[in-house]
Structure formats: C-alpha cells, structure tokens
Chains A and B, each alone.
Chain A
Amino acid sequence: MKIIQNIGLLLFVVAILLFTIMLGIGNQRLTEENIPGKTPAHKAAIAEAANAEGILNKDIGNIEFISVFGKVLKKAQQNQLNVPIPDGVGEWDIKIGDWEIGGYTSAAVKKSANGPVQENPILWLLLTFGLAILGGLLFIIPKFYEHPGIKNNGIYHDSLTRGLKLNIRSLFLGATILGMLVFGFLKYQNLFWPLVTLVVGGFIYYLVFYRENSKQNTPQRSASPIHTGWLGVLAGIYLIAFYILLYWFPAYINNWIDMVDPVSKKLSGGDASNWFLYGLMYTVIVIVMGIRMLTKYQHNTYQKVRTFSVMFFQTAFAFLIPEILVRLNQPWFDFKNMWPLDYDFFFSFNIQDLLYGGGLGPFMFFWGILLFVIGVPLFTYLYGKRWYCSWVCGCGGLAETMGDPFRQLSDKSLRAWKYERYIIHGVLVFAIVMTLMVIYAFVFERSQILIFNVENVKAWYGFLIGSAFAGVVGTGFYPLMGNRTWCRFGCPLAAYLGLVQRFKSKFRITTNGGQCISCGNCSTYCEMGIDVRSYAQKGQNIVRSSCVGCGVCAAVCPRGVLRLENGSDDGGSRTEELRTIHISEGEVKMLG
C-alpha cells in the first residue's frame, strides 16, 4: 500500500516538474501570416517593426520572444503616433492603444508557437495532467482501505501543512500587499487607487489596533508553529506565481494553453484561452482532491454528500455547461455564480452580451438577479450560508477539496476576527458602490461620476479584489494562511450571505449540553478561524456570520458536542450564553 502511494507521489512530482519545465520549451516563428492586428494598419505597422527588428521568419526561444516582441510592439506603437489619420477612419484603427498590447502579445505567441507542445499537445497533456491525476489517485485511493475515522495524524508534523511562524507569515502578507499595489500602479500608471487602498488599509489597521484595543491583545493562537513548514512556503510561492502568470502574463503560459487546445475544441469548438486552462485545471483538482476528501471522511455522510455536491457543481455548472452553451452559440454563463462575487455581472459588456446576445441571454440575466435577490435570503434563512459556500460555490469547492489539508492554518485570534469584519464588509461596500456606479453610468451613459472615472473604478476593483485578493491571495495563500482566506476576509457574497445568516436564519451549530472538554479540535480545524471552542465550552450555540457550515468542527469533535442544524425556532435566543452553569440560576437546559 505504502509502495503504491510512494509511486503515486513520485509520478505527481514528475508531473509538476514537467508542467513547470514545459513553459520554457519550443520556439516562436513569426511570419507575415501570423502577425496580430485588428486592422490592416495595425498589422502592417507591426510587420514593419518586426522586420526592422529582424525577427520575421526566425526561430526564437519562446520566453525570449515575448520580450523581443514587446519591443516590436512598442516601436510599432511609436511609429503609428505620427501617421496621419485619414477621413472616415477611427483614430484607434491607426494608432495602437496600450490596452491592446497584452492581447496582441498573446495572439502572436499563440499563433507563432511551434515546438514539441504544439506538435503533440495530447502527449504533453498526458505527461502533465494525466500523470498528475494518476499519481494523485494512486496516492489517494489506498486510503479507502484505512479504517474510517478522523485522519488528522501528523498534520502539525508535516512541513507542507504545519504553517508559518507569525513573523514569516506577516512578511509574506506585507510583501504581497505592497507588491500588488506597486504592480497595480505600474500596470495602470495611476497612483490614485493604490494610494486610496493604502489609506483604507491603514485606517483598518488603526481601527483594529487602537479603536478596538487589539494592540495589547497580541495573538498567541494564530497558526504559528514552532518551526516554519518550508514545503508549505514553497507551495505557496508556486501558487502565487501561477496566479500572477495566469492573470497578467498569459503569454508566458502559452504552452499550457496550447496543450489544452484539443480539449477546448472538443467541448466548445474554439481554441483554449488562459481561462479555459484555468477552468480545466480547477475542475480536475476539485475532482481529484474531492476523492481525497471522500477517503478522509468515509465515516461521515454529511461530508461525503457535501463533497459530491461541490464536485458536481464545479464540473457541470462551472465547467461543462458554459462550454456547451458556447458550442450552441449561447453566451458563456455559470448558472451558480452570482453578484457580488461575480462582480462584472452588471458591467455593460455583460448586460449587452446577455440582453442582446440572443438565445438564453435574457433568461440568464433574469436568473442571475433572481439568485441574489430571492435565492440568497430564502435559502440562507432555511439552511444558513452553507447552502452556497460549502455546497455550491466554486471558490468554496476548491477550498474544501484542494484546500482541506490547510484548513488548520486559519488564524483564530480575536484580532484576526476584528480584521475580518472590517475587511470583508469593506469589500462588500466597495462592490455595491462600484456596481451602482456602473449601472448609473450604463443607464445615463456617463463615464464620470463626481471625481471618479467609472472605468478606473471597475478596473481597480477587478485588479485588486477580483484578481489579487480572490486569486493570488485567495488560493496562493492556502499553505500560508489557510484555505478560506478569500472567503473569510474578502468575498462580498460571503459577507452578504453572512449578514442574513447572523440576523435571520434558522441555522446554528448546537452545543450538546455540558459535554465540551475544551480540547480545541473544533477551533483548530475551523477553516474560517472561528474560535468554536470559546462558545462550546460555555454551552453556547454558535451563530457566526462567517460560518460556512462545512461541518468539520462537528466531525473532529471527540465527544460529540457539536451539530449543525436548522431549527424552526428563530428567536434572538440562538446565541444565548452560558448553558453549562450548573448553579441554580440555570440548570443544564437547551436554549433555542
């Protein structure tokens, strides 16, 4: 059994190595035919610059090509500045805009790539995805033969899962935040929004440390081990790098994209994009790691059903159905995603796509609104926010499968909770204000509201929240700060669901009388950083806006103290305190 698992591990490592190395192989051969450009003028300008640079019809290494071609584009852009614009032709049909650089680079790279990957994409798919899946399954499947029960042995002895020392974690967090702000400034050549972000961040720091008096309450119970787990740090860096390339430098991962072209063609009929690659990877990971989750919780039907649910929604709703819709000439649409997590739902391009794109579009638009206007309050009232966060949501699905080995790394300190409340509700406010501006701008055809340029607000939200927070920090920080960093601190939909759960829901985690022994398993394995024990040891039910209802606290409890449940009684009494008082003023009794 152990041998099979080790072979699996070996195959997986080989697959990851090949996956990484393959980015650097192959050549680019730019020819007249594959020069990008949306107008003949653009094409001609780029061709001329390419010719001057002497790269036409030459084989150039694929990474080198991107920088050389960058120079070519810059030159073409400059050359076009002085070209007179004939009547009846748009200015930007001649001039090349900054916003087109990324697309042109990707297009050129994709079209001119030739090498082992382009010659035999299926082989590379098998060598990377295939080998990783095989290795993963060889590692995972033998676990079905273990005795069912809680499987947390050695988590804090493992370099991958034991987390970082507090100071190293802070260093990573600080570097990531600053790095993203600097990158945002360079990307948009705009100092205003990075500065606003910095000021807001500083204000939250002030509120937590000084207004909430958290300065003297130095957390001791964050996920800080005695020795930093360097394998976890390595995994975190790899994931962060992956997201940076995926979001902002897709030209560098062209070999990955080309490798999944055949899959994309089979499904939607079109070429793969970086988003298709991401969707495919995401789905594969959710399925394979979902199977791991099934081995880990063989004895727990709640966990099994929930895991099947996230595997299903990711595979069908987030991946297959949208691709099939495209094949049927319908708009790409994920029926389970909703505003405000899906922050561009009300962006003009999306509204136009859906409302005027024909077919099912208007229904999709209506459905998307129905979900968050009716669906959220109704289902959250009945079942708590878990119906979405740990049963349906894609981010939740990844967190509950790939992220499960890291759930213990969430910070349980009171200070972290204070940060959480300011940040997540701040993001919710940002999402609402941004969306209102977008709708206002769309309806009244304005681009400026007060001093704010609506396009800039959209772009900054997309960059800071949609990409940097949800992706780079959200998933990249799994091995550093736990698997729900985004869901806990950033997701505006989670904030909205949480408000309903906290104030108007039948859901709670019931504490079983006085049976708690304060062992701390529940708090340790709460991915949302809720100090579950602090409630359970008082005999108090747990009603917290952040609880995603994963049910792991109830599963790991060695004394059967916790149960997730929906009652019919929804008075303000769900959170009444101190049930374990045994002195006369409160015999052991259950409060609704």
Chain B
Amino acid sequence: MSHTIIIGNGIAGTSAARWIRKLSDQKITIISSESQHFFSRTALMYIYMGHMRYEDTKPYEDWFWSKNRIDLVQDHVTAVDFENKMLSLQSNSTIQYDNLILALGSKSNKFGWPGQDLEGVGGLYHLQDLENMEKYSKGLKRAVVCGGGLIGIEMAEMFHSRHIPVTMLVRESDYWNNVLPPEESAMISQHILKSDIDLRLGVNLGEIKNDGTGRACAVTVKETGEEIECGYVGLTAGVSPNVGWLKETNLSIERGIVVDDHLQTNIPSVYAIGDCAQLKNPKPGRRNIEAIWYTGRMMGETVAYGICGRPVEYDPGIWFNSAKFIDIEYQVYGDMPAQHDEATTSLFWKHSDNEKSVRINYHTASGEVKGFNLFGIRYRHEVCEKWIKDKTHIEEVLQNLGLANFDPEFFKQYEKEIVDAYNHTTGKKLQLKQKRGLAKALAFLKG
C-alpha cells in the first residue's frame, strides 16, 4: 500500500490528507512538531483574547483522525533523504514514504534588527508564539508591534483586548497601503487610532534594547531615535516560506519550494503546497507565493488529486480574501490593486460613519467589472465571482447589486447609495432593481 507522508498539519497539509482519504485507501501520515492536532492558525488571536480555548480552534474532534485512518506523528523532521525516500525525526527514528507532501508553512520575517532574538520578542504564527505572548503578558506595561499588515493589526488587537497599551510601528504612510487603495487605507488607520492603539505611521524599528538580562525592555524608532519602553516586542513584518532547513538538499528552492502546475517539485514524488510553495507559473495577475488560508486549502485538494492518479492543474480561480481590522470586516473579490491602472475606473462609496465602504473596479472602455473591495459590508462570494467571471457590465452589476448583499437581516442596505454615487460621477440615471434576498440570488446563480 502506497504511503503518503505530509510534513505540516496546517490547512494545506490537512486538506491534502482529507482529500487523499476521500479519493483513495492509501496510508497517510501527517508529521508536525507544532501540535498533535490540526488547529486553525487564523484563530490564534481569539485564544489570547479569551474568545475561545485552544480546543475550540480544532476544526475536527480528536477521534476524527483515527476514524479516517490518518496517522498523526508529533515530531520534528530533521532531515529528508530524497534518494531513499526517508525522513529522519528528532526522536531518532526514521520513516519511509512513497509520496511526500511538504506543507511547511511560513516563519515570521526578521530583518536583522539588533536585539531581534532577545526574550520577549516574537512573531505571531505558531502556537508557540502565542504561548510566548502569554508568558510575557502578565503585568505588561506596554507592547510594541513592529509591522503593519494583517498579523500586526491582529497582535495589536490582542494586547488591546487585555487593556495592555500598544504602540504600532508601521513603515507605510498609511496602514497596509501597499495592498489597500488610499481611501480604505486611511479609513482603517483612523479606525486603529480610534481604538486607542498608538499607531505610528511612516516609521521603522531601529533596535530592540536589552535590559541586561537578555530581555527586551525598549525599542528605538529609526527615524526619530525615540525610545519606547516596552515589555514585549512583536515582529509582524510579514512571513516567508519555512524552507531554510532544506536549502542544502537537491530540492529546487528560491524564496519558496519551486513547484510546477501540478504542485510537483523538481524531485519526483515530492510535492509542496501552502505557504512554502512557490509557483513556477503563477496565473496572470497573481503572485508566485500566496500565503493565505484559501490557497493552502485549494493546493491541498489539488495535490491530493495528483497523488491519487487524477492529476489536475492548480487553479486558484478568481482571487478572494477576507480579514477583520478590529471591528471592521474586509472582503475582496477579484483583482483590486492598491493603485489601479489607467484603463480601469474605480467606483468608490463610503459611509459617513467612516467604517463602511464599497469599491467596484471596472474596465473603463468595456465596462467589464473587475473586482470588489468591501469594508463593513458583506457580499456574496458566488454572486461577485459570477459577475467577474462573466465580465458583466458595471451598469448591469449596479442595477442588480442587491443580489450580492450578504449582511444580516434588518441591516440597512446601501446599494442605492452606491448606484447614486455612480450616477453622480457619470451623469447616468440608473435605478437599483434588486434588493437583498436569497431567492433572487439563487435564481441568478442558477440562471
């Protein structure tokens, strides 16, 4: 019986295991040193904030794995012998595979800051990072979070939830403005400030100071030299593939492990998925490494088909993602760059409360809708995707915009205001034809 070993039990590795089990009867082993069972990494913040316990972040009950004959090994892989298809584990044992899936995930970036390895300094990626934060939280007077982005804001919110003052050092001139268009970026920056988080824009970390015992006690701001006393320093300047330990092997590695359209590496029977995989041929407009939950899940599924003899090309479909910035939810569907090109027109509407906005990009000449950026308002994934896929004309989309609305019942609907915003800029007289409702959305999707 063929034996597939998966290194890493995150969403990519777990998805692969589940799909292999669905498609075949072969032996499956997942090895991880981080935790015995799969847990949702995206939920780490909620454990710290007291919304959930670690147990609640496990998407499957513990008996799920043995019931589905997925063997779990909690150990650290120290070396891979690709020639003999053998792994060496920290516990000094070895283990043989027929197919190997590398789902190694990421590690937090460290850019050589002085003091970056002191105690009381850490990222937010692993379960152990959370334990580290917990360890230093008691009696903590201030935490400094270095780096904007999604993890930075999460970490700031975590400390804030425990009434620990937080300073955020962000390199950009507005929060996450390398991804978000300026209006949205400004809106989120203001929301962060309003939430009593000390947001410093356009500054970098200088160094982390040692209190003499090997513990971080302060940071300096590079631009101003200002020293900020703190008991914890969060390093959240992005993540990079966790592949350093494989660099000496024959595996083809650039920033991540290079994989082809079937997620195969240069070594036969070895695959790489999730955060650690670097696509040789990414789809147009997509990055070659996309370290997000959804692509990990899709890659896991794709690789399972390949291993089970039904190879399919990896196709992540139309881009989508989501996040939450303290109290503002964010959804994106389609191609929504921070700065759109000249051929594109951007329709932007913002609520006067400065916490809700909708942006729809479309091709100026043809009117084809290209994507949606949503803040504080929920839209249906399937409806937006169908509009983008079908290259629907912006005016068609606007008149039926209610079909996409996914906010809870009784929530105010802003689609008419968005149509009005379009009419205002174009001088047209479009009317909103569809309000929110499941029945019509279903009819649209089936039609």
Contacts and interface: CB of A to CB of B under 8 A. Distances in A.
Interface in B126-152: none
B302 A583 contact: yes
Contacts of B62: 218, 220
Nearest to B194: A147
B315 interface: yes
Contacts of A221: 55-56, 58, 61
Contacts of A154: 49-50, 161-162
B326 A149 contact: yes
Interface in B34-93: 40, 42-43, 46, 49-53, 55-63, 67
Nearest to A163: B53
B385 interface: yes
Contacts of B53: 156, 225-226
Interface string A292-332: 00000001111001000000000000000000000000000
B50 A152 contact: yes
A278 B47 CA distance: 38
A571 to B, nearest CB: 10
A563 interface: yes
A534 B62 CA distance: 14
B61 A219 contact: yes
Given A513-B380, A517-B293, A559-B329, A592 B317 contact: no
A365 B293 CA distance: 57
A519 interface: yes
Interface in B421-447: 437-439, 441-442, 445-446
B324 interface: yes
Contacts of A220: 55, 58, 61-63
A554 interface: yes
A302 B445 CA distance: 26
Contact of A153 (B42, B51, B316, B320): B51
B317 A587 contact: yes
Interface string A160-171: 000000000000
A169 to B, nearest CB: 14
Nearest to A413: B61
Interface string A479-521: 0000000000000000000000000000000101111011111
A153 B331 CA distance: 23
Given A150-B327, A564-B408, A588 B438 contact: no
A580 interface: yes
Nearest to B53: A156
Contact of A582 (B42, B194, B298): B298
Interface in A399-451: 408, 413-414
B294 interface: yes
A490 to B, nearest CB: 24
A153 B49 contact: yes
B382 interface: yes
A212 interface: no
B444 to A, nearest CB: 9
Nearest to B440: A568
A219 to B, nearest CB: 6
Contacts of B58: 220-221, 520
B411 A563 contact: no
A157 interface: yes
A582 B385 CA distance: 13
Contact of A512 (B317, B378, B409): B378
B408 A300 contact: yes
Most buried by A among B63, B67, B301, B329: B63
Given A150-B327, A301-B410, A520-B56, A588 B385 contact: yes
Interface in A163-217: 216-217
Contact of A560 (B43, B294, B329): B329
A583 B410 CA distance: 36
A233 to B, nearest CB: 18
Interface residues of B, number: 63
Contacts of B55: 220-221, 224
A533 B58 CA distance: 10
A520 B59 contact: yes
A554 B407 CA distance: 9
Contact of A567 (B49, B382, B409, B439): B439
Given A152-B49, A156-B51, A564-B409, A569 B439 contact: yes
B327 A148 contact: yes
A560 B51 contact: no
A515 B439 contact: no
Contacts of A588: 317, 381-382, 385
Contacts of A560: 322, 329, 331, 378, 406
B301 A581 contact: yes
A590 B57 CA distance: 26
Given A216-B63, A584-B312, A519 B317 contact: no
A555 interface: yes
A568 B442 CA distance: 9
Contacts of B42: 517-519
A582 B317 contact: yes
Given A220-B62, A513-B381, A582-B317, A565 B438 contact: yes
A149 B320 CA distance: 24
A587 B59 CA distance: 23
A152 B293 CA distance: 24
A226 B40 CA distance: 19
Contacts of B312: 583-584
Contacts of A414: 61
Contacts of B380: 512-513, 590
Given A149-B326, A149-B327, A590-B382, A515 B50 contact: no
Contact of B46 (A224, A515, A521, A554): A521
Given A221-B58, A559-B322, A568-B439, A592 B446 contact: yes
A158 interface: yes
A27 interface: no
A243 to B, nearest CB: 29
A158 B381 contact: no
A560 to B, nearest CB: 4
A234 interface: no
A301 B408 contact: yes
Contacts of B408: 300-302, 551, 554-555, 563-564
Contacts of A512: 378, 380-381, 406
Nearest to A580: B297
Contact of A589 (B11, B322, B382, B438): B382
B56 to A, nearest CB: 5
A481 to B, nearest CB: 16
B161 A153 contact: yes
A150 B50 CA distance: 12
B57 A217 contact: no
A558 B46 CA distance: 11
Given A592-B442, A592-B446, A155 B293 contact: no
Interface string B179-194: 0000000000000001
Given A217-B67, A590-B380, A590-B442, A520 B52 contact: yes
Most buried by B among A218, A302, A524: A524
Contacts of B327: 147-150, 299
Interface in A528-558: 533-534, 537, 551, 554-556, 558
Nearest to A569: B442
Nearest to B326: A149
Given A512-B378, A569-B439, A153 B195 contact: no
A392 B61 CA distance: 34
Contacts of B382: 513, 588-590
Contacts of B293: 517-518
7 contacts: A152-B51, A220-B58, A302-B411, A513-B382, A518-B59, A581-B301, A589-B382
Interface of A: 147-150, 152-158, 216-221, 224-226, 299-302, 305, 408, 413-414, 510, 512-515, 517-521, 523-524, 533-534, 537, 551, 554-556, 558-560, 563-569, 580-584, 587-590, 592
User: Which 5 pairs across A and B sit closest by C-beta, in order of nearness?
Assistant: A513-B381, A149-B327, A560-B378, A519-B43, A568-B439
